[in-house]
Amino acid sequence: MRWDPRSKIYLAFVRKFVDENEGFGLPPDLDAPPSEYHSWSGQPNRFRAIALITSKGFENWSSQRWLVYKKGTPFEHLYTNAVNPCFLAPPNYVSFPMRYLPKRQVIDGWSRKGVCDAVFMSSRDGLHWDRRFLQGFLRPGFGPKNWTDRSQRVAAGAVQTGLGEVSLYYIAHYGTMIAVCSA
């Protein structure tokens, strides 16, 4: 959640499932019970997606609206969002959502399926997003302990950590040990 100085409203980014067959035309169901949410997990035509809600005074919130991408952007599981204002060009936004790839091979002995990476996207208003770079921005790499689900989860987006220096803090080695890294 954050204040948007350009539109003078609060923005909150939330996660819901979207059905590929129905697309983003239907509004997300904010009041769906948790049992329905979990029943969607693992179904091949349903994807985790990001929606936006807004508020002028932090009390009453708008209906959820799916984030808008350029036509042809693939349906992919965007598990988290890591949206932050771009400190180099405020009030624009950058996001490093953790993308879940359920069909990718995990390390031997891992009990769950799939691997995660983080992608990069940008926006001028928080609703319309540019995902022109579809490949992973932060990838599992050579360390075998990163080839699990929920690794490569960016914590706070791009953070200026020095003069001419930008860092990304992220979770690595999920479920094998605690490691918070920066790149």
pLDDT tens by residue, the chain, 183 residues = 888 988 999 999 988 777 777 766 555 555 566 566 555 566 777 788 898 999 999 899 998 888 998 888 888 889 888 898 887 887 899 999 999 888 887 777 777 778 889 999 999 999 999 999 999 999 988 778 888 777 888 887 788 888 888 888 888 777 765 555 565
Length of the chain: 183
Residue 108 · residue 72 · CB < 8 Å: no
Helix (H) or strand (E) holding 172: strand 165-172
- Residue from 87, 71, 84 nearest 126 by CA: 84
Residue 40 in tokens: 């969607």
Burial of 158 (C-beta count, 10 Å sphere; 0-12/13-18/19+): buried
